[in-house]
Structure 1
Amino acid sequence: MSNRRFQILFPAIFLTVLAGCGNNSPNHDAAAAKEASVPAAAHHTHWSYEGDTSPEHWAELDQLFTTCSTGSAQSPVNILHDKVKEDERLSPVKVEYSPSPVSIINNGHTIQVNISSKDNKLTVEGKTYLLQQFHFHLPSEHEVDGKHAEMELHLVHKSEDGSLAVLGVLIHSGSENTVLNKLWSALPAEESAEAIVVDGSFDPAGLLPADLHSFRYQGSLTTPPCTEGVQWIVLENPVTWSAEQIAKFAAIFPHDNRPVQPLGSREIGSDE
C-alpha cells in the first residue's frame, strides 16, 4: 500500500447506498433525474444504524430525510422468487469494468472504494452509467425469500443526466475471494476524512459472479436522504468470501444495513 494519502473533500452525503444506496450519497431529484446539491445542513446531520439515530428515526433527524418515511418506492426490499416477473423485454445487464486507480476510506458508515477512472461502465436497457464508487453492508440489505446474505456489495453508477443505478451483489460465506485481498490489506479500521490510495490498480470485475442474471426494480438510496428514482439491479447469483474476509469487515462494522421496506405496488422483474 502506498504511503501517499490525499484529502477527500466530500460531504457526509456523497455518492454511496446506494447509495444505494449508499452511504455518503448525493441528493438527486428523482422526478427530473437531474443531479442536485445537498444543502449544507444535511452534511452535518448525524445518522447511524443504532439507537436514536437508527433507520426508524432517520426521517426525524432532518427535514431533508423525510422521504425515508414518506417515500413509496424505498429500498432495500425482500425479493420473493414466486412474485418476480420474468420479463423478456429486459435485456441482460452489460458490465464493462477494467483495472482502475482506486482509494479506500472508512466514512463512518461503511468501507467505501472510490473510482477515479471513467472507463467502468454499466449499461441497462440501453442507458449507460459510469461507476463512481462501491461499498459494503453487513448483513445484506436486500433479502431473498426472507433471508439475508452475510453481506452485500453495492456498486454505485451515475449517468450523464445524473440518475443513479446501483448494482447489488449478495455475498455468502465460502471460498476466499483473492481479488478482494488487495483492498482488505489496506482496510481502514477508523473513520477518517482521508482516503488511502491503493497501490497499482484494482479491477471491480473481480468482485462479480460470472453469471449476471439479475432482478430489477425501481427504488431509492438505502441511506439518508433515501432519494427515490434509483434503478436497482440485484444479481441473482451470489459470490463467496471466506469467513475471515467477512469477519474483518464485521470487526469494523458489526452491522450497517437498513431493514427491508414495503414493496407496495412495485414489481420486481427478472431478465431471464
Structure 2
Amino acid sequence: MKLASLMISSTMLATSLLAGVHHAHWGYTGHEDPTHWGDLNPKYAECKLGGSQSPININKDIIVETKGLAPIDFHYTSGAAEVINNGHSVQVNIKPGSFIKVDGKEFELKQFHFHTPSENQIDGKNFPLEAHFVHQAKDGSLAVVAVMFENGKENEIINKIWKKMPHEAGKKVACGLSAEMINELLPKEKAYYRFDGSLTTPPCSEGVRWFVLKDYSEVSKDEVNEFLHTLHHPNNRPVQPVNARKVLQ
C-alpha cells in the first residue's frame, strides 16, 4: 500500500476509531451491514474492491511454517485514558507510552476494542469474543494484535471494563485501567499467526500487519451477553477471501 494512502487511512483511524466520529453511517445490520459498506461512501470502496481484506479464516491450507519468526516485543507500560461506546464497539483508549516492536519498528498502542463473535476464525471456528489492539507507527503504518477469548471463567479485567462502558452510543468515561491490567488481557504465551490484511471496519484500508495470538484468554458467557446487550447486535465482519495470501507461523 502506498505511504500516502496509508497516512490517509491512519488519519481516518484517528478521527473515527479513536474519537467515535464517522464519515458515513455504517453498521452491522440492514442496508448498512458489511455487504453494503463498499457502496455507502466512495472512501469505503476498498471494502469491496480490496484483495487483502480482513478478517480471514486461518487454516492449515494457507499456513506457512517460517523458521525464526521473531516474537512480538511488547512494551505495554501506560494505562487507559477512557472507555468509549462508539456505536460499533466498546473501545479503550490508551495513554501515550505503550508500544510493540516488530520488523525493527515501534508501533504505539492507541486503543483496543472488542467484537462478538470473533471476526477472525481459526479452522473455521468463531470465538465468543475477540479483542483488537490497534497500533500505529510514526510513518502511519498500522499493526493489530488480535486476542481470542474462549468460554470459561469470568475475566476480571473484562469485568472492570464492562463496569465502566457507557451503554449509550457516543458516550465516553474515564477509565482507570492500569498497564498491568492491560497486560493481563493477553495470554501468557504470545506465539502468533501473521498475515497482511486491512482494517475490519470502513474504510477497510489495507497494508495492516495482523498478528493473531495462538493462545486464548477466557471470558464468561455472562460477560459476552452483557457486551452483546450493550451493542444490541453482533459486531463482526464476516471472513473475507484469502486470495493469494499466506499466513506465517
For 1:184, the equivalent position in structure 2 comes to 162
CA distance in 1, matches of 2:77, 2:136: 17
What's the counterpart of residue 27 of structure 1?
A: none
* Partner residue in 2 for 1:195: 172
Q: Gaps spanning 5+ residues in structure 2: where?
A: 16-20
Aligned-residue offset at 1:180: 2.3
- Write the mapping of 1:176-255 to structure 2, written as runs, cut at 5 A: 176-192=154-170, 194-199=171-176, 201-202=178-179, 203-253=181-231, 254-255=233-234
- Equivalent in the alignment of 2:2: 31
Change beyond 3 A, Cα 1:83–1:43: closer
| Partner residue in 2 for 1:14 | none
What's 1:4 paired with? Answer: none
Extract structure 1 runs of 4+ deviating beyond 4 A. none
Tell me, yes or no, if the aligned pair for 1:101 and 1:117 is still in contact at 8 Å.
Answer: no
Residue of structure 1 in register with 2:85 after alignment: 106
Whether the aligned pair in 2 keeps the contact of 1:139 and 1:152 (CA below 8 Å) is yes
- Greater fraction helix: 2
For the residues of structure 1 that align with 2:58 and 2:154, how far apart are their CA atoms?
26
Please report how far the alpha carbon of residue 43 of structure 1 lies from its aligned counterpart in structure 2 after TM superposition: 3.6
Residue 146 in 1 paired to residue 118 in 2?
Answer: no
Change beyond 3 A, Cα 1:177–1:47: same
The answer to whether the 8 Å contact 1:222/1:258 transfers is: yes
Query: Which residue pairs with 2:18 in the alignment?
Result: none
**Which of residues 129, 140, 164 in structure 2 aligns to 1:162?**
140
Letter in 1 for 2:135: H
- Residue identity matched to 1:267: K
Quick one: distance in 1 between partners of 2:78 and 2:56?
32
User: Could you say if the C-alpha distance between residues 71 and 82 of structure 1 is closer, same or farther in structure 2, counting changes exceeding 3 Å?
Assistant: closer
3-state SS of 2:48 partner:
helix
1:133 is aligned to: 111
State the AA in 1 paired with 2:140: G
Aligned AA (1:184): W
Q: Number of residues paired by the alignment?
A: 237
- Report the Cα distance in structure 2 between the residues aligned to 1:226 and 1:83, rounded to whole angstroms: 22
Task: Say whether 1:85 aligns with 2:57.
Answer: no
Q: Secondary structure in 2 aligned to 1:147? A: coil
Indicate the percent of aligned positions where both proteins have the same amino acid.
40
Partner of 1:66: 45
- Rounded to whole Å, the distance in 1 between the matches of 2:44 and 2:176 is 37
Structure 2: distance between partners of 1:141 and 1:211: 21
**Displacement after TM superposition at 1:99 (Å):** 4.6
Quote how far apart the aligned CAs of 1:125 are: 2.5
Q: CA RMSD in A?
A: 1.7
Structure 1 unaligned spans of 5+: 1-29
User: Hey, what's the Cα distance between the residues in 1 that align with 2:86 and 2:205?
Assistant: 20
